[in-house]
Structure formats: C-alpha cells, structure tokens
Amino acid sequence: MPGAAQAGPPLVAVVAETAMGPAGVALSPLGIRHATLFHRTREAALAELRAFGAEPADDPRAPEITRLLQEYAAGQPVSLDHYPVDLPPGGGFQRRVWLALREIPRGETRSYGWMARRLDQPGAARAVGAAAGANPIPLWLPCHRLVAGDGSLHGFGGGLAMKQALLELEGALPRRLV
C-alpha cells in the first residue's frame, strides 16, 4: 500500500514490536494516516512508513499505539477501530467504505455485498472490494473482516494467510489445526 508522501505537517512513524512481528503507523496531528500490517523486521515496517513520508520522532501517542498493537497481536480483546484516523484524500465512496469498516465488530465478518447494501449501493460489492483493497489504515479500519458472500476469504493486501491469521486471532474463524 505504499504511496506518495502527503503534504502538510510531517508524519511521525511509530513501530511496535509485537508477537506477530513489527507493525506501525504514520501519525499526523489528527490521528493515524497510514498503517502497516505485521512485518518480519522493524526495518521493513519502518521502510513502509517512510514510503508515506513518515519518520521516527518523539510523539506522546507512541506508548498507547505500541500498547494497542502489542495487546492486539497477543490476542487480547483490544479494539483498534476506535482510535482517531486522519484519512488521506480519496473518493467519497472509498472513504465511506473505509469508515464503515469500523462497524464490523471484532470476532465477526461481513460480506462485500453486506457492505454495499449498508452503504445504499446494492450491487457494488466489487467496488467495496476495490475500496477495501486501497485501505491505507489496515487493522485500525478492519478490512480483513470483509469476506465473500459464501464466507470464503478473498483479496487482502497482506495476503490471504495474513487475513486468515487476523480473523483467527479475533475469533472470527476457527483456529487451524496443525
């Protein structure tokens, strides 16, 4: 999901070491502008945030962001989807999808079609999927909670294995037997 750096105040990069690997956010003065999924290394998470113009700096919100990501990755019932976000520019429908993702409770999934109907756009399930695929703030705007109408997993920027792992972590899918 890397993109061009945003104009305006500098973005602050915060990377947290978690049980699932390093993850981070790019913070504007108003909230989270971009977020990473879990990476193998801190450097990889930081590189993704730098692609958006964020640089590490002291920020009083960093301890809370770190705590929330660590608790989430440990499977604790923390909710990330109420933290302030600062959406980058996007189309009206796209922004509506992004914000409506927060209506899907942790531990549950909804279909792309459900979301389209929720937004009074029946028949726009593919457009919902495209908007979810452009989500700049995964985890915090939980696009991983969208599934196909038959319950199968489709399309996720972090890959289907990551989507499944996140849904299992949240209790929305049974854990895989190894």
Q: Are 143 and 134 in contact (CB under 8 A)?
A: no
Q: What is the bridge-based pairing of β-strands 23-28 and 54-56?
A: unpaired
Active site residue 111: no
Q: Which of 68, 116, 127, 143 is catalytic?
A: 143
φ, ψ of residue 176 to 5 degrees: the values are -70, 140
Q: Are 124 and 115 in contact (CB under 8 A)?
A: no
Nearest alpha-carbon partner for 153 in 139, 168, 135: 168
Q: DSSP letter for 147, please.
A: E
Neighbours of 149 (CB within 10 A): 11
Token pair in block for residue 129: 């999927």
Task: State the number of CA atoms in the 13 A half-sphere of 136 facing the CB.
Answer: 23
Helix axes 125-133, 92-100, angle to 10 degrees: 80
What residues act catalytically? Answer: 143
